[in-house]
Structure 1
């Protein structure tokens, strides 16, 4: 049986706003909601979708100036469906779906609970491109056991900087914490849901990335016969930027010649030293020294810029593979099957 929220003190400010908007109904409430800024709409939507059932007495108290009009309203219920209908009244369909996708991200009511349920490798890959202070804040807010797994996956030099900042960290100002939460929601969580949340092929690719060759073959061989398009999609998703480091040196050199210098610098930013070295060692001494210097001078960069650069290089690699200029193989695949 669902618990009815009957204590107004248990509601946050955003949840109270959500109650009032729901009580006003889709037509009137949506006209008010469309006057909010995008980030405000997102925050209220989170509150609305997770609201659950609120008692009629609480509704009356929150809209005390309209008690007479809404006395017969009784209980109201906030859900994904009601939130979707609400947003659809004043937003384009693709924008509605984007917000709902974010709401349906990893389990958890708060941002930090959601972050605690994100795969540690995925979270570590994102954080390694952030400022050490930001990483320190995130790790102190998620579950300790999850923070330990994420920390272990960061580059060694970055681990030392993050640990130092955690030790010296005092109470984080509320406005700073809110800024970090907004950044995580808009830059990380939205992208995480797009790539992991509702794509069954992406989920299967993540699972297969962690299997041995025997199990991989036992799954993929019948899948290629029955669902060849799905099999191809999964293989494509399994190929990551880190896989480029496993190319033969001549292929890496061809790829580097076809990439923009700035793009390569962003792509290598935050990459493990050993993987960075694979690319740098396939350049002339002068070119590699210039690239090292450029990476060091960049400082903290946006995770989105790093991701865009890596995706751009991946697209270049796949295009070169299609042209026959390089050969891309699955890790450990002796048959050297071309993937593009």
Structure 2
């Protein structure tokens, strides 16, 4: 503890100290090193007041100084000390403590652990298949870490949604998981936050999914009429539903490679029926995605003059093609729409896409 005799000046011993004098006394008691770090957190006016008070500070006996320090500690604990700015207090602590000690004093670790728990628990609100589909795009080590963090019962279901060829590697990584650095853990947790956001969005879109499923059972003229009616009530609702609707005519927006994969497993008679009465643009999009031999056969059937067009059978065939496209899209095998389509690129041939 330093000697205060030099600050006796002309002050009366034992006279009450002002707030500024108390601040000056505490800073002087801290010593030059610590006090110097604290001074940068005061405003210019506060510094001038404290300096003036220090120059005229009377002698402070040890017992009075102890009382003053105790008063400061009480005010500091209550959040009403010399500096009540939270960021300033945090910076002061970081000057002399380790990050772990600062986290402990500020209660960060407890809050962070509670945050972690809530994030991992929220994953259980989704279907395991949804989580599995998301994780397939992640690195095996990231998947292993996530599986090690979520509840075991749910993690087992998610693991079964992953490709069988990857499960052994992921399980091995999970078994041999070492301590993950805080930085790496934060990166992964940010990805989990994105996933939780997608879960919330998926939950909020259930109504739109149901309406889209209903409309996917209808013909294009009926769908157009319903969407027009819905738009008069809410454009936002239309924007939620429209991207989820896929009709036979939407094959035009599908990437050529996806069209090839889709039509490869559909019987020729269904394709033929679906193309009856279709526009030339649709016919070319479909016929360019099948083998030359099958194309010749379907074109021959379509050109037959004695063919009778049954609207109901045509609608059923087109709906069958659209439903198969939706099924393959949901399993991740094809894309329903080409994100890079410009509308003026010529279609690839089936041979080029294969």
TM-score normalised according to structure 2 size: 0.34
TM-score normalised according to structure 1 size: 0.35
